[in-house]
């Protein structure tokens, strides 16, 4: 008889559960069941959501399963293994069973070799997923209902307030509320008073430091360090409506970020939210709290901030043509521009500034990003010469745009027809699923056949949804391209008018033209530059810049590759 080598798997979703020791609870249950048996390994995922299968302990479990380190996998509940439903559970279990591993839930084996066993496991998994989604929905609905009644939803309070949690006073349950923190609220008053006097964020920061008012510090370390309050933090305080007694619930919508700066994120790995956007203001829920600042002072500060912002829109000190257009191929950050020294006179007597473009992560003592640093003046000239070759041919551009529009109209009509047909197919698929479910309820079809048919229909529905999303995005892109084409045609006319009038082309117009045409520029490690043009079809072939090299800060950087963004 084959010797059993048992592996235990446990998981909790959040740090709060981790602190409440639910991992230990799961282990206690499993150790009691398998007491005296050959337990060879424990795989524990602390603080990882069940919707993701890429958890550290889960990854290690899969590797050890392939290596044959255990032949029985024990879990306390199916939702501890995954809450991704059948789509996650079935492939994971089948993979383990194919390796000769038996799966047990609280000592009871899961039979994934018969239709009945598969059906029961899938039902349990679906119930777990439904329970998770239902619990989340109930919690969210409860919060919004409470906020609608003006009840405070517990959170970390703004500086100057402290949170009094829900508690009992005799036989009366008191809801959570904010009250003024008498040890801190005077600092908020001083920040408003000082800004009204100085009318400058930087001056306010310095004056507050002289008064002994330092940065609050992160949660749990308030007042630990004597640091300046950042001007950006002061601005956030000054525009915070909580200080006039207006606290809002539900200002942000949280979700998954669409662009990642970090290659690895612990939150992303755990399946947590990594991004947010503002919810429309009419959906915010107002909860009244004690004010620290009177409305007259608050409104005066807002007027000064608005006036200062308008005056701030002054002409830049230095002219950087490609600023914020160059993206690092390693970390995804935008390149910055910085002067290398003072102005100097060229042979023709023109005052010129030497500057360079570089990735911010490649600066400082610890250089984290292996990106190229380029000579800004030479690079800007190359980019402008390339774009000028486009805008100096307005007639060709106009003809090309007309042809492009005709193609786009045909493409849009074809895509819309395909989308309409797809929606009809989707409706038929949904009708067929409903028919099979109805047949199950009436006992016309057995569960095994029904499950097989539903599985086929679910796969078909997933393919239809993916295709629908693809076609919808295609139609959206066609509409966006039409707007860009009009801007490009406008840029050609403006350039032509200025050149024909024999006036000097202003830098602001030149910068606007470049941004109208170019979506992004990348600099490769070998020095080649890739210019991604917004409308690649306009002038046909890509322009090649050959045999251009510049010695920049000890590096030979060549710009000989201009590509178009498809």
242 tagged catalytic = no
Whether 418 and 474 have beta carbons less than 8 Å apart is answered as no
The catalytic position among 13, 205, 361, 491 is 13
d(CA 375, CA 154): 52
Q: What is the phi-psi region of residue 245: left when phi exceeds 0, alpha when psi lies from -120 to 50, beta otherwise? A: left
CB contact set of 250 (below 8 Å; sequence gap of 6+): 144, 147, 279, 283, 284, 285
d(CA 564, CA 566): 6
The pair phi, psi for residue 206, each rounded to 5°, is -65, -40
Whether 338 and 355 have beta carbons less than 8 Å apart is answered as yes
d(CA 361, CA 302): 35
d(CA 301, CA 244): 12
Q: Measure Cα distances from 379 to 70, 254, 541, 551 in Å.
A: 60, 39, 22, 12
Greatest CA separation for the chain: 96
Retrieve residue 210's tokens.
């002289």
- Which DSSP string corresponds to 229-274? PPHHHHHHHHT-GGGGTEEEE--EEEE--SS-SSS--HHHHTT---
Whether 292 and 312 have beta carbons less than 8 Å apart is answered as no
Whether 318 and 340 have beta carbons less than 8 Å apart is answered as no
Question: What is the helix (H) or strand (E) element at residue 494, kind and residue range?
Answer: helix 447-500
Whether 364 and 344 have beta carbons less than 8 Å apart is answered as no
Whether 164 and 177 have beta carbons less than 8 Å apart is answered as yes
Q: Measure Cα distances from 17 to 23, 81, 128 in Å.
A: 8, 16, 17
Q: Encode burial over 195-224: b for 16+ CB neighbours within 10 A, e otherwise.
A: beebebbeebbebbeeeebbbbeeeeeeee
d(CA 517, CA 519): 7
Cα-based angle 93, 99, 104 (whole degrees, multiple of 5): 45
As annotated, the active-site residues are 13
């Amino acid at each position: 008889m084959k010797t059993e080598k048992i592996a235990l798997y446990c998981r909790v979703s959040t740090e709060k559960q981790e602190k409440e020791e639910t991992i230990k609870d799961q282990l206690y249950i499993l150790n009691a069941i398998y007491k005296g048996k050959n337990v060879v390994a424990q795989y524990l995922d602390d603080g990882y959501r069940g919707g993701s299968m890429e958890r550290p302990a889960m990854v290690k479990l899969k590797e050890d399963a392939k290596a044959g380190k255990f032949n029985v996998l024990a879990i306390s509940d199916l939702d501890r293994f995954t809450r991704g439903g059948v789509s996650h559970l079935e492939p994971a279990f089948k993979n383990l069973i194919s390796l000769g591993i038996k799966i047990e839930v609280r000592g009871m084996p899961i039979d994934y070799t018969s239709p009945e066993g598969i059906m029961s496991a899938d039902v349990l998994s679906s119930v777990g997923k439904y329970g998770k989604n239902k619990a989340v929905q109930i919690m969210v609905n409860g919060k919004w209902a409470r906020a609608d009644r003006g009840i405070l939803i517990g959170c970390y309070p703004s500086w100057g307030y402290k949170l009094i949690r829900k508690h009992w006073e005799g036989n009366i349950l008191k809801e959570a509320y904010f009250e003024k923190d008498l040890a801190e609220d005077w600092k908020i008053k001083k920040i408003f008073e000082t800004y009204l006097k100085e009318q400058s964020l930087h001056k306010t920061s310095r004056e507050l430091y002289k008064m002994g008012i330092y940065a609050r510090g992160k949660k749990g370390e308030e007042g630990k360090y004597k640091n300046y309050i950042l001007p950006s933090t002061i601005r956030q305080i000054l525009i915070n409506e909580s200080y006039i007694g207006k606290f809002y619930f539900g200002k942000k919508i949280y979700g998954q970020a669409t662009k990642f700066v970090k290659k690895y994120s612990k939150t992303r790995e755990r399946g947590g939210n990594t991004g947010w956007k503002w919810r429309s203001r009419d959906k915010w829920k107002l909860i009244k709290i004690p004010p620290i600042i009177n409305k007259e002072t608050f409104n005066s500060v807002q007027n000064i901030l608005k006036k200062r912002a308008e005056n701030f829109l002054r002409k830049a000190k230095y002219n950087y043509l490609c600023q914020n257009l160059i993206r690092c191929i390693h970390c995804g950050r935008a390149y910055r521009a910085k002067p290398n020294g003072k102005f100097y006179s060229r042979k023709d007597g023109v005052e010129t500034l030497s500057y360079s473009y570089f990735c911010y992560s490649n600066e400082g003592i610890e250089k984290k990003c292996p990106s190229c640093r380029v000579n800004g003046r030479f690079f800007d000239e190359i980019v402008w010469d390339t774009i000028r070759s486009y805008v100096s041919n307005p007639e060709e551009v106009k003809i090309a745009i007309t042809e492009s529009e005709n193609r786009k109209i045909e493409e849009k009509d074809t895509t819309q027809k395909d989308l309409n047909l797809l929606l009809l197919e989707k409706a038929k698929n949904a009708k067929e699923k409903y028919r099979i479910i109805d047949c199950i309820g009436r006992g016309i079809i057995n569960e095994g056949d029904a499950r097989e048919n539903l599985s086929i229909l679910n796969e078909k529905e997933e393919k239809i949804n993916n295709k629908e999303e693809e076609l919808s995005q295609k139609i959206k892109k066609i509409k966006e391209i039409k707007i860009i084409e009009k801007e490009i045609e406008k840029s050609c006319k403006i350039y032509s008018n200025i050149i024909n009038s024999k006036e000097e082309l202003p830098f602001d117009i030149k910068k606007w033209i470049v941004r109208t045409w170019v979506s992004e520029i990348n600099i490769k490690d070998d020095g080649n530059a890739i210019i991604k043009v917004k409308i690649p079809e306009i002038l046909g072939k890509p322009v090649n810049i050959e045999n251009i090299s510049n010695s920049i800060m000890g590096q030979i950087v060549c710009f000989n590759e201009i590509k178009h963004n498809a």
